[in-house]
Amino acid sequence: CQRCPTIVVEMANALIGHNVHREKRVLKPIAAKGKGDVKIVQLLNSDVESKWIAKNVKELLDKGVLPSEIIVLIQRKKGAPIILNA
């Protein structure tokens, strides 16, 4: 995985490993990407979630974190339109 910090790749590998209907493969973390920082949250609904994400991304940007250093992982078809419109 060329874009993700190592902790994200490790988490992805753990999820992929549980999927019995998928060809087995392992993503290779790149140490130079750094460990990264992950927040896992469960919120009431998609509206609350999108506002939480927008608020947290804004806080990171205000602290000087570059947009290229921020990753939001979400189900593409279900969650992405809500998040992109927040």
pTM of the model: 0.70
Helix (H, G, I), strand (E, B) or coil at 33: helix
Residue 7 near residue 40, CB atoms below 8 Å: no
Task: Average the pLDDT over 5-28 and give the result.
Answer: 86
Q: Which range, 16-20, 22-26, 58-62, 81-85, has the best average confidence (pLDDT)?
A: 58-62
Mean pLDDT of the chain: 85
User: CA-to-CA distance for 78 and 82, rounded, in angstroms?
Assistant: 8
DSSP characters over 17-36: HH-TTS----PPP-GGG---
